[in-house]
Protein backbone atom coordinates (compact mmCIF):
# COMPACT_ATOMS: atom_id res chain seq x y z
CA UNK A 1 0.00 0.00 0.00
CA UNK A 2 1.37 3.38 -0.92
CA UNK A 3 1.25 6.18 1.58
CA UNK A 4 0.35 9.70 0.69
CA UNK A 5 3.48 11.80 0.47
CA UNK A 6 2.33 14.94 -1.34
CA UNK A 7 0.82 18.02 0.22
CA UNK A 8 -2.28 17.30 2.25
CA UNK A 9 -5.44 18.92 1.00
CA UNK A 10 -7.29 20.68 3.75
CA UNK A 11 -10.85 20.52 2.67
CA UNK A 12 -13.07 19.63 5.59
CA UNK A 13 -15.42 16.81 4.89
CA UNK A 14 -13.53 15.46 1.95
CA UNK A 15 -11.60 12.26 2.10
CA UNK A 16 -8.06 12.16 0.92
CA UNK A 17 -8.19 9.32 -1.56
CA UNK A 18 -4.73 8.16 -0.58
CA UNK A 19 -5.38 8.16 3.11
CA UNK A 20 -5.81 4.60 4.32
CA UNK A 21 -6.57 5.65 7.86
CA UNK A 22 -9.46 7.30 9.63
CA UNK A 23 -11.94 9.40 7.70
CA UNK A 24 -10.75 12.95 7.25
CA UNK A 25 -14.00 14.57 8.28
CA UNK A 26 -12.24 17.22 10.31
CA UNK A 27 -15.50 18.90 11.26
CA UNK A 28 -17.54 15.76 11.45
CA UNK A 29 -20.68 15.72 13.50
CA UNK A 30 -19.96 14.55 17.07
CA UNK A 31 -22.54 11.81 17.11
CA UNK A 32 -21.20 10.22 13.94
CA UNK A 33 -20.91 6.45 14.28
CA UNK A 34 -20.97 3.22 12.30
CA UNK A 35 -19.04 4.75 9.44
CA UNK A 36 -18.74 2.63 6.33
CA UNK A 37 -16.35 3.93 3.72
CA UNK A 38 -16.70 2.72 0.15
CA UNK A 39 -13.32 3.92 -1.09
CA UNK A 40 -12.12 0.39 -1.81
CA UNK A 41 -15.18 -0.45 -3.89
CA UNK A 42 -14.76 2.85 -5.70
CA UNK A 43 -11.15 2.10 -6.53
CA UNK A 44 -11.99 -1.40 -7.73
CA UNK A 45 -14.77 -0.08 -9.95
CA UNK A 46 -12.55 2.64 -11.38
CA UNK A 47 -9.85 0.08 -12.11
CA UNK A 48 -12.41 -1.80 -14.20
CA UNK A 49 -13.44 1.41 -15.95
CA UNK A 50 -9.86 2.38 -16.79
CA UNK A 51 -9.18 -1.15 -18.03
CA UNK A 52 -12.24 -1.01 -20.26
CA UNK A 53 -14.00 -3.86 -18.45
CA UNK A 54 -16.81 -1.53 -17.42
CA UNK A 55 -18.18 1.09 -19.79
CA UNK A 56 -18.43 4.72 -18.72
CA UNK A 57 -22.11 4.69 -19.62
CA UNK A 58 -22.63 2.17 -16.85
CA UNK A 59 -20.99 4.31 -14.19
CA UNK A 60 -22.00 7.74 -15.48
CA UNK A 61 -25.70 7.20 -14.98
CA UNK A 62 -26.65 9.74 -12.31
CA UNK A 63 -30.36 10.50 -12.35
CA UNK A 64 -31.46 14.08 -13.07
CA UNK A 65 -32.60 14.19 -9.42
CA UNK A 66 -29.15 13.37 -8.13
CA UNK A 67 -27.49 15.93 -10.40
CA UNK A 68 -30.00 18.55 -9.28
CA UNK A 69 -29.47 17.62 -5.63
CA UNK A 70 -25.74 18.15 -6.14
CA UNK A 71 -26.44 21.59 -7.55
CA UNK A 72 -28.71 22.75 -4.75
CA UNK A 73 -27.60 20.78 -1.68
CA UNK A 74 -24.25 19.34 -2.61
CA UNK A 75 -20.84 20.17 -1.33
CA UNK A 76 -18.09 20.68 -3.85
CA UNK A 77 -15.01 18.62 -3.10
CA UNK A 78 -11.39 19.09 -4.10
CA UNK A 79 -11.43 15.75 -5.89
CA UNK A 80 -11.44 15.87 -9.70
CA UNK A 81 -13.92 13.56 -11.36
CA UNK A 82 -12.11 10.23 -11.81
CA UNK A 83 -13.86 9.61 -15.13
CA UNK A 84 -13.97 12.87 -17.11
CA UNK A 85 -11.57 15.02 -15.01
CA UNK A 86 -13.38 18.11 -16.25
CA UNK A 87 -14.93 19.07 -12.91
CA UNK A 88 -14.55 18.30 -9.26
CA UNK A 89 -17.06 15.88 -7.83
CA UNK A 90 -19.80 16.92 -5.40
CA UNK A 91 -20.96 15.16 -2.26
CA UNK A 92 -24.69 14.84 -1.74
CA UNK A 93 -25.95 13.83 1.72
CA UNK A 94 -29.14 11.78 1.85
CA UNK A 95 -30.85 11.07 5.15
CA UNK A 96 -32.84 7.95 6.02
CA UNK A 97 -34.61 6.78 9.15
CA UNK A 98 -38.05 5.98 10.60
CA UNK A 99 -38.06 9.10 12.79
CA UNK A 100 -37.64 11.38 9.78
CA UNK A 101 -41.09 10.50 8.44
CA UNK A 102 -41.73 12.30 5.14
CA UNK A 103 -38.28 13.88 5.05
CA UNK A 104 -36.62 10.44 4.85
CA UNK A 105 -34.76 10.02 1.59
CA UNK A 106 -34.19 13.74 1.13
CA UNK A 107 -30.89 15.35 0.23
CA UNK A 108 -29.77 17.88 2.85
CA UNK A 109 -26.95 20.42 2.91
CA UNK A 110 -24.17 19.13 5.13
CA UNK A 111 -24.36 22.21 7.38
CA UNK A 112 -27.82 21.06 8.48
CA UNK A 113 -26.60 17.70 9.72
CA UNK A 114 -25.39 18.83 13.17
CA UNK A 115 -28.83 20.33 13.85
CA UNK A 116 -30.64 17.24 12.66
CA UNK A 117 -28.27 15.12 14.75
CA UNK A 118 -29.53 16.88 17.89
CA UNK A 119 -33.16 16.77 16.75
CA UNK A 120 -33.42 13.04 16.11
CA UNK A 121 -32.21 10.06 18.08
CA UNK A 122 -30.93 8.11 15.12
CA UNK A 123 -30.81 8.34 11.34
CA UNK A 124 -28.51 7.22 8.55
CA UNK A 125 -26.62 9.46 6.17
CA UNK A 126 -25.62 8.26 2.72
CA UNK A 127 -22.96 10.36 1.05
CA UNK A 128 -23.08 10.08 -2.73
CA UNK A 129 -20.31 11.39 -4.95
CA UNK A 130 -21.51 12.85 -8.23
CA UNK A 131 -19.95 14.65 -11.19
CA UNK A 132 -22.16 17.31 -12.70
CA UNK A 133 -20.25 17.20 -15.97
CA UNK A 134 -20.42 13.49 -16.89
CA UNK A 135 -22.91 12.04 -14.36
CA UNK A 136 -20.38 9.73 -12.72
CA UNK A 137 -21.76 8.74 -9.33
CA UNK A 138 -20.81 6.41 -6.52
CA UNK A 139 -21.72 5.84 -2.90
CA UNK A 140 -18.85 7.33 -0.91
CA UNK A 141 -19.84 6.77 2.71
CA UNK A 142 -22.62 5.78 5.01
CA UNK A 143 -22.85 6.62 8.69
CA UNK A 144 -25.28 7.10 11.51
CA UNK A 145 -26.07 10.33 13.35
CA UNK A 146 -28.41 11.34 16.15
CA UNK A 147 -28.63 11.97 19.89
CA UNK A 148 -28.28 8.29 20.72
CA UNK A 149 -24.61 8.71 19.91
CA UNK A 150 -24.04 11.23 22.69
CA UNK A 151 -22.34 10.21 25.93
CA UNK A 152 -24.98 8.98 28.39
CA UNK A 153 -25.01 12.06 30.66
CA UNK A 154 -25.43 14.45 27.74
CA UNK A 155 -28.05 12.27 26.15
CA UNK A 156 -30.14 12.40 29.33
CA UNK A 157 -29.96 16.18 29.22
CA UNK A 158 -30.83 16.32 25.51
CA UNK A 159 -33.72 13.94 25.94
CA UNK A 160 -35.04 16.09 28.80
ZN1 LIG B 1 -17.07 13.59 -14.61
Ligand 1 centroid to Cα of residue 90, in Å, is 10
pLDDT confidence tier of residue 32, bands split at 50, 70 and 90:
very high
Ligand 1 centroid to Cα of residue 84, in Å, is 4
Ligand 1 centroid to Cα of residue 88, in Å, is 8
Neighbours of 144 (CB within 10 A): 19
Q: What is the structure's pLDDT at 160?
A: 62
- State pLDDT tens for residues 50-87: 999 999 999 999 999 999 999 999 999 999 999 999 99
Ligand 1 centroid to Cα of residue 94, in Å, is 20
Task: State the pTM of this model.
Answer: 0.80
Instruction: Report the run of H or E that residue 119 belongs to, with start and end.
Output: helix 113-119
Instruction: Report the run of H or E that residue 39 belongs to, with start and end.
Output: helix 39-50
Amino acid sequence: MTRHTGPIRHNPGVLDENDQGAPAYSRRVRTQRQLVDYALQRRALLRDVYAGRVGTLEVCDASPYLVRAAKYFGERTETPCPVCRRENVWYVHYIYGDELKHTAGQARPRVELPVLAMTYREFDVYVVEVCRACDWNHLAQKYTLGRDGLPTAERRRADG
